Chain A
Amino acid sequence: MILFGRRLPAMSSLLLWALLWEIVGQTGWTFFIPPLSEVLVTLFNVIGTPAFLKAMYETAYAFISGVFFAVVIGIPVGILIGKSRLLDELILPWVNIFLSAPLTALVPVLMVLFGFGMKSIIITTTLFAIWIIILNSRAGVKQINRSLVEMARSFGASPLDAFFKVYFWAALPEILGGVRIGVIRAVKGVIIGQLLISIVGFGALFELYSNNFMMSHFWAVLIVLFALAFTLSEFLAYLERRVSYYAASR
């Protein structure tokens, strides 16, 4: 938006909303919305506490492991089914099913199979992220220009060379796009897992705050979580733009 002839930065309206939050909080309209200033003060008090750091550490651990498995399994599977028609026809329907299935419903199964702990949360995170990574890696391999493949072959590239020097790079923009969406889904997965298995990480913290009606603590943690999630997604979008500069001109 342009105001007085100057371009306002894209996210600047959030300041306006923060102001609105402060005003609504100051009026004491509802117990559930404390003033933003109070929340921020709480935030600085909370952020160094052992309880918060423990929750942060557990969440980061579950999230990073979950994403790691999703990437390490997802990309090769995607490339594989992109290259083999038989595997594609056998596996793709399941990928599509799990992509749109409400995966929350599977969390109780994970709970009874893998216990109320870290393992279930990691698997939940992986389940949220992996399908889109598979699908995008497959799409990336599928769209590789035929003449690029033929070029590699006509210049005598070995299959291994062709894979690492041509296929992987040609499919990279799509793969990264999939990883970006997968990571955003993983953030949601790790939180949903923790909410349902509420003895670990932020799940436990939320339980504590809501049982004791500590509203500003609650909002403080939410702000941290949302800010981290948003920063992560913007950072990945930036990386993707850096890499896919050549995607349009392939």
Chain B
Amino acid sequence: MIHRPLALKLLSAFIVFGAWEIAGRVPVSFAFPTFIESMQALFRLTIEGTIFTAYAETLKPLVVGVSISAFFGIGIGLWVGLSQRFEWLFSPIFIVMQAAPLAALIPILVMAYGIGLTSKVFVVCIMAMPVIVLNTASAVRNTPASIKDMGKSFLATDRDIVLKIVIPAASPVIFSGLRLGISAGFIGAILSELKITPTGVGDIITYSRSIADYPSMYAAIFSIIVLAVLFLNLLERIENFLFEGNNRGYVSD
């Protein structure tokens, strides 16, 4: 007997995929393939290797964009968190960016930078950056006052306080900001492939839709969602492992 949570997860997956299969067989729509057809298409794309070349293409702007966002986002976030003047100057921009539908900037980016990699990297950056900056800044600002006082009372220099207290104390929240940034980056990467030029996975989706090969289209969408969810889940596990105890242990519990 396997234990209950796992059994229920399997049951839940079975119900959902089963419903998909039945809906496809009815069929609810000519454009709704069954689960099995979609998985067969996914299998075929994998065997042909199409899916791998597609991902190599899709992940390029994602990786470049997320790296740039991480580097500048954490840098700006630290600065904003540490300096009141910087906070006054920069945080409104990122607060507005966080609330605003930044996707609306895509047409301008395309006009300015064409339909190549640059535009796609930009899309990933504008999606990923605000949450990274805001998380970093608030993590820095929320460093427990008592451990900063502790540092001061044991004669830490300002540099010591930033390097040995503020940054380690902030790193769990910075990391989760990074994870949310990557999540938003995925949205940006796919959006740019669907909106700007169909390349990579976006190409499979657009092309198979145009020739009404719906199983392949569903397979590509299924795979990108699975990939994103698995990757973000992995990051969350890493986060829990790395910072185990970091979020506890401040006060008595």
Contacts and interface: CB of A to CB of B under 8 A. Distances in A.
A225 B101 contact: yes
A225 B5 contact: no
Interface in B139-164: none
Nearest to B208: A108
B187 A103 contact: yes
Contacts of A10: 88, 92
Interface in A131-170: none
24 contacts: A17-B92, A86-B8, A89-B12, A91-B12, A94-B12, A101-B225, A102-B187, A104-B187, A107-B194, A108-B206, A109-B221, A111-B209, A184-B99, A195-B107, A196-B195, A202-B104, A209-B107, A210-B110, A225-B101, A226-B101, A229-B100, A230-B95, A230-B99, A230-B100
A16 B90 CA distance: 11
B31 interface: yes
Interface of B: 4-5, 8-9, 11-12, 15-16, 29, 31-32, 84-85, 87-90, 92-93, 95-96, 98-108, 110-112, 183, 186-187, 189-191, 194-195, 201, 205-206, 209, 214, 217-218, 221, 224-225, 228-229, 232-233
Contacts of A215: 108
Contacts of A221: 104
A108 B205 contact: yes
Given A100-B229, A109-B221, A225 B100 contact: yes
Contacts of A103: 187
B225 A191 contact: no
Contact of B108 (A192, A218, A233): A218
Contacts of A32: 108, 111-112
B16 A94 contact: yes
Q: Is the interface of A mostly helix, strand, loop or mixed?
A: helix
A72 interface: no
A8 interface: yes
Contact of B15 (A90, A101, A106, A188): A90
Given A100-B183, A105-B224, 5 more contacts: A102-B187, A108-B206, A109-B221, A192-B187, A226-B99
A10 B91 CA distance: 9
Interface residues of A, number: 57
Nearest to B127: A188
State the 8 A-B residue pairs at the shortest beta-carbon distance, nearest first: A1-B88, A191-B101, A112-B31, A233-B99, A102-B186, A226-B100, A210-B107, A89-B8
A14 interface: yes
A50 interface: no
A246 B124 CA distance: 39
Contacts of B92: 10-11, 13-14, 17
B104 A13 contact: no
Nearest to B201: A105
Interface in A191-220: 191-192, 195-196, 202, 206-207, 209-210, 213, 215, 218
A67 interface: no
A93 interface: yes
Contacts of B95: 230
Given A192-B101, A195-B195, A218-B108, A105 B221 contact: yes
Contacts of B187: 102-104, 192
Contacts of B105: 222
Contact of B229 (A90, A91, A97, A226): A97
